Structure 1
Amino acid sequence: MAAISAFQASSSTSSGAAGADNRNARRIAVVERDPDLRKQILHSLQTRQFAIVECANATALYRNLLTAPCDIAVIASDLPDDNPRSVALHLRQHSDIGIIVLDAEAGCHGEADSYHEIADACFAKPVDLDGLAAVVTAMHSLQHHMRAMPARAGAGQPEWELALDGWTLRTPEGASIDLSAPERNVLLRLVNTGAGGHPVSHDSLIGSLTSDVYDFDPHRLEMLIYRLRKKVALMSPLPLPLRAVRGMGYLCTIVRSNN
């Protein structure tokens, strides 16, 4: 727990000057208890010019992140000291690191045990090393694109529009982004309830996704918004105008379309 607390305390500063120095370091953490599999993944990713931080457990990951910020963490589902859901939650709350789960029970392809709610990608064991390397490369490129967006965004405040039916988000450049049903529900709640610059609470947003807010994992909302940001980053050089308001919820400046 000490390693987790230290990581949480340092992550706010590491996202500043130290984080900026490491943004393009191409550093990947591989968190896997099997040393042979760690070595296989290491060699596969090194051929793509990634630097690898080897960790046998979650505690080692947290300790390494204190001094060696990483862009992506590849996390096994059968760690000896923690489970990937807890690890992913800590990482999501305190960093913008990408997360890939290696599922020892092949739950990636199931419904109930899927890790897609907590991870950007999931691979069943035995791991397809070429496929993993390709996904890591694509994720790193997307991260680089997203981090560069604020510098490319103009000084003005162009409007983002949500279509009247809520199924399409239009960027200031005129691109149209199709939304899934959960994304539509959340954006409709943000635009309708948050009109006039009012933050929308987490409970209100969760209420747009389920009828039982007390039996809903709040982390699923964070993941939905995280993935929506990534979807938008592929279509627009401008960041999605949605920001977290600590202790309150989310605030967005998207408007409803008139046509």
Structure 2
Amino acid sequence: MQKEIKIAIVEDDENLRFLVSNRLEKEGYKIVEASDGNMAIKLILEEQPNIVLLDWMMPGKEGSEVCSELRKKGFENIIIMMTAKSQDLDKIDAYNFGVSDYVTKPFNMDVLVAMLDSKVKYLVNDKPDHSKFGDMEHHPNIHSLIKEGKKIELTILENRILLYFLENKNKVVSRDDLMMEVWGYNSDVNTRTLDMHIVRLRKKIESNADRPEFLKTIRGIGYLFKDEE
């Protein structure tokens, strides 16, 4: 790895924490660990890891409380929630307490490593932690848009969709590729669900959602995120 990346693993299950730590160390990451919420806040503020893997259910403070407190204290790096909750992630008020992304337990270790590697490539290449389009800035780590000085909250899934579009500006993206990227291999999500998220995202980024300037539908194929910059 060209640049040392530090990951904090916050997990009260000792066996799982050991397995994840061991694998990530072998992948070249520097690891710090905490087993409860109170310890996690102190550790993360001191160590300033690039990425936090944070368990949802923990003694002391739950993951949501830890995340919320870290954001209030100015920590803006990536926080990935590890959750066994199987409901639609948009129903979890994750964006209210500042989680960047999530992984559902039980997770395949190779899938976790691939997810981390994809996030790390931006850190390694010193890419900025936000993207600009039109008069907006997208801050994916805190799943927000900044428009005319105002902060617009995105849900986790809206955040993933927009991030993918910004990585593929001015390219036609198929619905299948987008669904695979956003929901993953094990999902039975249908195109209607995707279209619903697109409609909601358009309302946040477009001046007129019925005549989109950025997020255009390509009939029969998918979408095109148009940005002339």
TM-score under structure 1 length normalisation: 0.49
Q: Which residue of 2 aligns with 1:142?
A: 122
Q: Which residue of 2 aligns with 1:106?
A: 86
Contact 2:10 2:55 in 1 (8 A): yes
Alignment of 1:43-122 (within 5 A): 43-93=22-72, 94-107=74-87, 109-113=88-92, 115=94, 118-122=98-102
Contact 1:115 1:122 in 2 (8 A): no
Report which of the two structures shows the higher radius of gyration computed on alpha carbons. Answer: 1
Q: Distance in 1 between matches of 2:168 and 2:40?
A: 33
Which segment is superposed worse, 89-98 or 54-63?
89-98
- The structure with the largest strand share of the pair is 2
Contact 1:44 1:130 in 2 (8 A): no
Q: Distance in 2 between matches of 1:67 and 1:112?
A: 32
Q: CA RMSD in A?
A: 4.2
Q: Distance in 2 between matches of 1:133 and 1:233?
A: 22
Tell me the CA shift for residue 113 of structure 1.
3.2
Tell me the CA shift for residue 225 of structure 1.
10
- The structure with the largest helix share of the pair is 1
Q: Greater relative contact order (Cα 8 A, min sep 6): structure 1 or 2? A: 1
Which structure 2 segments of 5+ residues have no match?
Answer: 139-143, 170-212, 215-227
User: Could you say what secondary structure the match of 2:79 adopts?
Assistant: strand
Deviations 1:155-191 (A, max 9, x none): xxxx9646xxxxxx8x9xxxxx9xxxxx8xx77xx4x
Give the paired residue count.
Answer: 163
Q: Distance in 2 between matches of 1:80 and 1:99?
A: 18
Cα 1:232–1:71 change in 2 (3 A) is: farther
Tell me the CA shift for residue 111 of structure 1.
4.6
Cα 1:51–1:233 change in 2 (3 A) is: farther
Which structure 1 segments of 5+ residues have no match?
Answer: 1-22, 151-158, 163-168, 172-176, 178-182, 206-219, 237-255
Cα 1:123–1:28 change in 2 (3 A) is: same
